[in-house]
Amino acid sequence: MRDHETLPRLPANHVPLTPLSFLLRSARVYPNRVAVIHGARRFAYAEMLARCRRLASALAAAGIEPGDTVSVLAPNIPEMLEAHYGVPMAGAVLNTINIRLDAPAVGFILRHSSARALVVDREWGAVARAALAEMPEPKPFVVEIADPEAPTAGEAIGGTEYEAFLATGDAATPGRMPADEWESIALSYTSGTTGDPKGVVTHHRGAYLNACGNALAFGLSPESVYLWTLPMFHCNGWTYTWAVTLQGGTHVCLRRVEPAAIFAAVAEHGVTHMCAAPVVLTMLIHAPAEQRQAFSQTCRIATGGAAPPSAVIARMEGLGFAVTHLYGLTECYGPATICMPQPGLDALPLEERAAFMARQGVNHPTLEEAAVLDPDTMRPVPADGVTLGEVMLRGNTVMKGYLRNPAATEAAFAGGWFHTGDLGVTHPDGYIEVKDRAKDIVISGGENVSTLEVEEVLYAHPAIMEAAVVARPDPKWGEVPHAFVTPSPGAAGAALTEAEVVAWCRARLAGFKAPKGVTFGPLPKTSTGKIQKYELRQRLHDGGAEG
């Protein structure tokens, strides 16, 4: 053995990575800087640390032990942010629950996660009460949030009020730091569009690294003001709950994601960064003039999910937002790839620049590798921008696995990579572009049709607000593309016809890629705002897709 390999690992030279350290540092370096804004409330970093320590102390005094699960059902409010520090400071695992779920789904999560405590905003008191009613004993103890910014008083369900619970804790108690960075920090549940959702378990090391990658890739700094339009319940806010604190930036909480509130917050607080699903971008673009407010700064907005169509990127820039495209899943803490700009990009015509920015890009700074592989051979596909493969990931920011689901965990990690289930290509410059979910690709007469490519063309139409394309069974071609379209508000949208939509696509796509039919109306979405293509396919199967 080489001499250098015999040097010891000691407390002086090895400390488990945890994002809890970010709050300790910012409270020391920026004690009086505003950490949290929520309505009239303001918390400096020193106070934020004290509140989180009280929460951890109170949880421990109430019987929460290391490894226990603490669930939170709340919107983007300070208490939800505090849970991202206070719960793991107690050694517990944070389970943030989607506030759009119904009582049976919430009940499933509470049972499957073996939740020992539930922190709930009273606006969701009725949902929590119904979910808890179906749980066996011992039920989790309840802490209730009475947010002064809530639209109604909500429903009290007999738990301890949050501020009273905090008062039972001790801010002088430092809290528990993990002995091992592989310890679980959070448990997030997937959307569960088919069957029960899966519980994604993540660790302190991955949360620390992904937060560092977010701060680096998105340009966060101590001057950053981050608006919480992305749900904190969605894979821990893509770890921005920790990333903003890492840099000592300001968290601006937003209880409801509405255009008027977003524009007002950006203008009033000088918001510099925010994240959102594509549906929020669409919402901002089509907001009535009276809901918009001008602001002088450029606000960087990162969006995930399906690639934002070029037209959406262009319109967002016109409103003062600079769009960054990210790609990821709950299983990789949120962002896994980012479309990094290249020198000279700003000089390109807007259409070319927007087309480049719609790619999913390259691996996140703290993800080891993202690649498009042939799932049969596990070899990279040619970097020709054409050959389809599956997007796969590996690195320290990939989940530990699925809770109590060894079969799904083994399948997800087959061959030493995490299988995303997304189909994509690698361009000659090495950038990845997702073409479709494996289940969403349309195979028409033996030709692959990317529904995302067709949707890109549809979104470019000035009278189309939202669009989704799925496969429709066809006796001749096997299946053909069918478009579901939500027209834009106003006269142009009201006058939109199927013939006009099909002609628009045929003028911009190969004939076999153009939709063979169009259905008009609102699109069904999951609780996280993703369009439910499986429901659209079912409508076609049931014969209910007449426009």
Q: How many CA atoms lie within 13 A of 316 on its CB side?
A: 30
Q: To 5 degrees, how large is the angle CA 270–CA 278–CA 274?
A: 20
Average of per-residue pLDDT across 530-539: 85
Supply φ then ψ for residue 517, to 5 degrees: -165, 160
* H or E element that contains 186: strand 184-189
Q: Does pLDDT of 384 surpass 50? A: yes
pLDDT higher for 277 or 426? 426
C-alpha distance from residue 391 to each of 145, 173, 210 (Å): 41, 45, 19
91: left (phi over 0), alpha (psi -120 to 50) or beta: left
Q: Does pLDDT of 547 surpass 60? A: no
Q: To 5 degrees, how large is the angle CA 523–CA 266–CA 31?
A: 125
Task: State the DSSP code for 308.
Answer: P
Q: How many CA atoms lie within 13 A of 175 on its CB side?
A: 27
pLDDT winner (highest mean) among 53-67, 316-330, 337-351: 53-67
Place of tokens 């994509």: 424
Closest CA to 313 of 456, 206, 175: 456
Paired sense of beta strands 34-38 and 41-44, if any: antiparallel
> What are 472-504's pLDDT values in tens digits?
988 778 789 999 999 999 888 889 999 999 999
Cis peptide before 382 (omega within 30 of 0): no
C-beta separation of 175 from 83 below 8 A: no
**List of domains in the chain:** 439-542 (3.30.300.30)
Q: Does pLDDT of 447 surpass 80? A: no
Give the model's confidence band at 36: pLDDT under 50 very low, under 70 low, under 90 confident, else very high: very high
28: left (phi over 0), alpha (psi -120 to 50) or beta: alpha
Instruction: Reduce the secondary structure of 338-379 to three states and give it as a string.
Output: ECCCCCCHHHCCHHHHHHHHCCCEEECCCCCEEEEEECCCCE
pTM (2 d.p.): 0.86
Report the chain's mean pLDDT, rounded to a whole number.
Answer: 92
C-alpha distance from residue 173 to each of 57, 170, 262, 275 (Å): 7, 6, 37, 34
